[in-house]
Structure formats: C-alpha cells, structure tokens
Chains A and B, each alone.
Chain A
C-alpha cells in the first residue's frame, strides 16, 4: 500500500518524516531569530566543538548494531569499516571511501560469507 515496504504503514513513515522535517527547519531558523543569544555563548561554542564527532560516532555504532543480523555479521561489517577508514586515511575523498568500503562489504557478504 502507498508504495511502502512490506510491514511499514503510512502512519509509521510520517511519524518519522514529519518530526525530522520540523526539527531540522527549526534548527536552521533559530539562529536568525536569536542571533544575540547564540553568538559568543560559551555553552554553544562547546557544543559546536564537541557534539558533531560524538553524534557521528554514536551513529557508527548504531548502524553497526543493525548489521549484526546481516550475513557475515559484525566481522564483515568491521572489515568494511576498516576498508573505509583505510581509504579515507589514504585519499580523504569521502565519495571514494564510502564507495570502496561499501563495495568491499558487499563483496564479502555476497561472495565470501
């Protein structure tokens, strides 16, 4: 129904899309409305410095947890991460690292495991 994956309802989809859309636009709009409160605020400076890397690390672990049930499990996923990191250390080309890491992982789960 509604072109959704099996077992996914329209309500479930909108319950994800709409909150994300609203929160994202609100975050983009806030600084225009509250420039004075946000500029040179120490706590915000700290968040700007420390939040992104932590959030991205949480997301790496979260997405890795999702790969545990896939064929090849965590071992294949960790090899994929190592290839991604290696490529990124070598060339620092985001597209290449993501593509190379994904292809390595896909090769493992389709051909090896």
Chain B
C-alpha cells in the first residue's frame, strides 16, 4: 500500500490553481446570500445540499420568486445536465469504500472533473483530496462572504448582477465547444418569447422548448444542417 501523505500532496498540487479560482465566486455567493436577507449559516447549507456553484446562485432567485419543486427540478436537470458526462471518464473506481465513492459521486463538480482530466490521479486518496479541497475552497469563502455581507450596509444595490455576468461568461465559454451561432440565438429567442408570453413559467418553458429543438435536430439531420451556423 502506498503511503497516503504524498497522494494528498499530489492532489493539492493538482487542485490548487483551479480551486483558487473558486474563491472570488464563493465570496460573491456568500455576500449575495446575506445581502438578499438570508442568515449567514444558510450559505453552507446551500453549498452542502446543492454543491453546484451556478445552480446555488440560481437557487437564490428561485427561492425569492417562490418557484415550485417541479419547475425547480426541471431547471436543475437542464442546468446541471452536463454532469451526466463526467462520470463516464472520472476515475472514481480508484476510491475504495462505499462512503468514499458516495462522496466522490456527490462532489463530482465541473472543477473536480477538469482537474482529474488534466492530471489523472494515481489513487483514491488523490481523487478525494482534490474533491474535498475544491469543496472547502467553495464553502469556506462562501461563509466568509456571508459574514462580510452581514456587517456591510444593505444600501449598496446591484450586487445580484454578478449572476448575470456569471452566466454571460459561462455562455461564452460553452459556445467555444460548438461555435454554432444558431444555438445561443435559438435559446435566446425562445427565452425572450417565453419571458414575454409566460413570465411566471419562463425558465421551464424556455428550457423545455430548447430541449425539444435539440430532439428535433437529432431526429432530422436535414433540420440540423439547415439550422447550423458555424463561425
């Protein structure tokens, strides 16, 4: 058996750069939580029950808007759907024991997937070190941000714009995966129509409609070719 300590060190070495990138977002999330009116300790509850950064930000909106569980579940399914691909190549098999594997599955975020893909871990200890470190670097800054948010006055407006900016950046980054301009145009158009016609159900309607368009593109290659607009 290999000693655990070098694997822990290797895990930290591989993870620190990506995990450090989580700190400003974690701070912003905590700050927003208390500015909106949650007590600081709700921040770690959000981050443990959900543990998916962009979805946690969005959850603040959904709670404030009083969105029901079904719409919420569908939104979570669409927003986090990408996670379904991570497990196909993530080295969870290196982790021994049920509890370890359960944690490894639960904490399979964009970041831990990206780290394990860039630096294939050698052992389960290394895998778990990466995942635990990433979660710590998300939850702890969240708490710090929330505590800061409790002491600064609530008069400063517009902090919630961080969520818009986050999705703008994510849209840009995910666009690079296909470079097909028809995708953001279709999605943006559907969202606009849904928002104007059915403002109360905007997210669910827009996401379902977009999903149906993709089903159509899959079933009809001719439609897919007609819509495609690569840049």
- Least CB separation from A63: chain B residue: B164
The answer to whether A97 and B169 have CB atoms under 8 Å apart is yes
Given the known interface contacts A65-B199, A94-B169, A95-B21, the answer about A32 and B156 at a Cβ–Cβ threshold of 8 Å is no
Evaluate contact between A5 and B37: CB separation under 8 angstroms.
yes
Binary interface encoding of chain A residues 79-113 relative to chain B, with 1 for a CB under 8 A from any of its CBs, else 0: 01100110010000011011101100110111000
User: Which residue among A15, A43, A47, A98 has the maximum number of chain B CB atoms within 10 Å of its CB?
Assistant: A98
Partner of A24, one of B63, B76, B171, B202: B76
The one of B25, B83, B161 in contact with A28, judged by C-beta atoms closer than 8 angstroms, is B83
- Interface SS of A by simple majority: helix
Min Cβ gap B47→A in Å is: 11
Residues of B within 8 A of A16 (CB): 59, 62-63, 67, 69, 72
The B131-171 residues at the A interface (CB cut-off 8 A) are 156-171
Given A24-B51, A53-B174, A80 and B67 contact (CB-CB distance below 8 Å): no
Known: A46-B217, A58-B187, A77-B161. A98 touches B195 (CB 8 A): no
Asked whether A57 lies within 8 Å of B184 as measured between CB atoms, the reply is yes
Within 8 A of B (CB), among A1-46: 2-6, 8, 12-13, 15-25, 27-32, 35, 38-39, 42-44, 46
Consensus secondary structure, chain B interface: helix
Residues of A within 8 A of B174 (CB): 52-53, 56
What residues on B are CB-neighbors of A61 within 8 Å? Answer: 187-188, 191-192, 195, 206
Number of A-B residue pairs with CB-CB distance less than 8 Å in the complex they form = 266
| Residues of chain B with a CB closer than 8 A to A52's CB | 81-82, 170, 174, 177
Nearest CB in chain B: distance from A15 CB, A: 5
Bound form: Cα–Cα A55–B59 in Å: 15
Chain B residues near A60: list those with CB within 8 A.
164, 167-168, 171, 188
Contact A98/B37 with A20-B76, A59-B58 known, Cβ cut-off 8 Å: no
Given A17-B45, A62-B191, are A53 and B214 also a contact pair (CB < 8 Å)?
A: no
Residues of A within 8 A of B21 (CB): 94-95
Q: Which of B25, B68, B78, B165 sits near A80, CB closer than 8 Å? A: B165
- Any B CB within 8 A of the CB of A51: yes
**Looking across the interface, which residue of chain A has its beta carbon closest to that of B170?**
A56
> Quick one: given A3-B42, A55-B79, are A46 and B214 in contact (CB under 8 Å)?
yes
8 pairs from A and B in contact (CB 8 Å cutoff): A4-B37, A17-B46, A17-B59, A19-B72, A54-B214, A98-B165, A102-B165, A108-B158
Other 19 A-B pairs with CB < 8 A, given A16-B69, A17-B50, A50-B217: A2-B39, A8-B66, A15-B69, A20-B73, A22-B73, A24-B51, A28-B83, A31-B88, A35-B87, A46-B218, A49-B178, A55-B210, A57-B191, A59-B170, A60-B167, A84-B168, A88-B168, A106-B159, A106-B161
